Amino acid sequence: MTVLPVRPAPRPSEPLSSYAVRLADANGIHRARVLPRPRHDIDIPRRELDTVAALAGLDGEAARRLTMNRYPLGIRGHGIQRRHGWRHHFEVVWLCPACTLTTGHTDLLWQTALMPVCLRCRCYLVRAGAAHVVTPAHPRVLELAEILRELAEAAIDEQRARGILYRLRRRCQAKAATLTGEEPELEPALPLIDVAWARMWGAYPPPDPRTVAVLLMLCGRRLTSEKPQRSAHSQRHQTGTFTPADHARLNWFLTRVRHHVTNDGLHPRHVPALLPLPAGDDAPARRPGQWLSLTRAATALHMLITRALGGDPTPQEATAALGVSGIPTSLLIDGIHAGGGLREQDADLLGRAVDALLAGGLIDYQRRRDTLRAVRRLPTSTTRQLPPGTGRVDSEVLALGWIWTRFTHGPMRSSPWPGIPDRDIHAFNTRIDPETRLLLHEAGQLLLADTDLLTIPTTDATWTGVTRRYG
């Protein structure tokens, strides 16, 4: 079997299903050519593992490490149904509400009750199909999750670690059967425990991540006093340094951006102040307050495209172009500015954003920002149909902010009204009816379309219409 030309390295603790998707997308082939049918990352037939290994240039053991079969029975469960272990029922899927939908990031241990949090985003996981609410995890829950992750790795070879996890599961199961919801040892900052979910712990753990997190805290307190040392890999990334692989990844991504600049006309003006989130029915709307991380990523992409065009960008120049001067920097921006490197998860995020911009037709967001920044009023026919303001902000300003966030794909920080938080625009959006939304959308389109008159021959008749509408 021919080895594929682009072979991304597997991430730490990445499931086989996730790696197969990345491998197929990187080479522009259908995912079924890599992994023939949907799998649950356990009990994968040997021939399918060999296919993935051959296409990716991996050895058989490296491919097997991407499945749950690398763990002992006490973790992955017994029998065909994989019961009486830490593994969820096959229908239960946990994901991170902060990074899974934007980067596709998943973790093999998220398929078990050992990991109810995302250690990368430091928040509680959610069930697929539930509300995607990002809730920061309690520090002690995060500390315990790191210990459990290391115990799961040690259990592959050590009987002692297997015994610790076996006894912890039995304690959790027994505690779940006797919970009342008013345990005195529960800390106030922990999530509220759902007794009904907890008492479902039988052959499989409960499907609710927060309930599992509380049970782990109640039964695993002793483990926090024996926390092992962090690995050199995690220490290196927490200190903000880059590896040679990160440096090579930055050079590779610059090559990709140069390709799109030359062949597709990609330009810094095509970058919105917020990187686009993936489209789809299951993708939630951007939450108020989520703008900072996506704006930092947009700044990084703006710098990369400028560098691909032969420029020498600075973070200050990029943020000024996006209208978000003064935002705090990040490791992503500093790594690109200094040429230090690009981490794999950041490369995935920027790569998906480039794909989304190309698929959207390379909209000139810089022109939209310049155009709408000069607009201070709407036609009277539009303002008559707006709901009353909040008392603190006029309804017309809220409508203009709504148009700004929809057409420039930027936060209110980048607008002419940086003091108005995004949550006010979100609240305004929930108060207006679909007909008003359509009216505001048409008004925004007219505002952008009328500026085209500045670049084409005009007559007195054309300017009369503009004057009548906007004064």
The HSE-up count of residue 107 (CA atoms within 13 Å, CB side) is 21
Q: How far apart are the first and last CA of the chain?
A: 69
291 pLDDT band, cuts 50/70/90, is: confident
pLDDT per position as a tens digit, 390-446: 555 678 888 888 899 889 988 888 888 888 888 788 888 888 888 888 888 888 888
Highest average pLDDT, of 6-15, 161-170, 228-237, comes from: 161-170
Mean pLDDT of the chain: 82
Q: Rounded to a whole number, what is the largest CA-CA distance in the chain?
A: 87
pLDDT of residue 324: 87
- Residue with more model confidence, 1 or 284: 1
pLDDT per position as a tens digit, 196-206: 888 989 999 99
Least confident of 25-29, 168-172, 216-220, 378-382: 378-382
pLDDT of residue 170: 93
- Residue with more model confidence, 109 or 281: 109
Cβ contacts of 176 within 8 Å, gap of 6 or more:
198, 199, 200, 201, 206, 215
CB atoms within 10 A of CB 45: 11
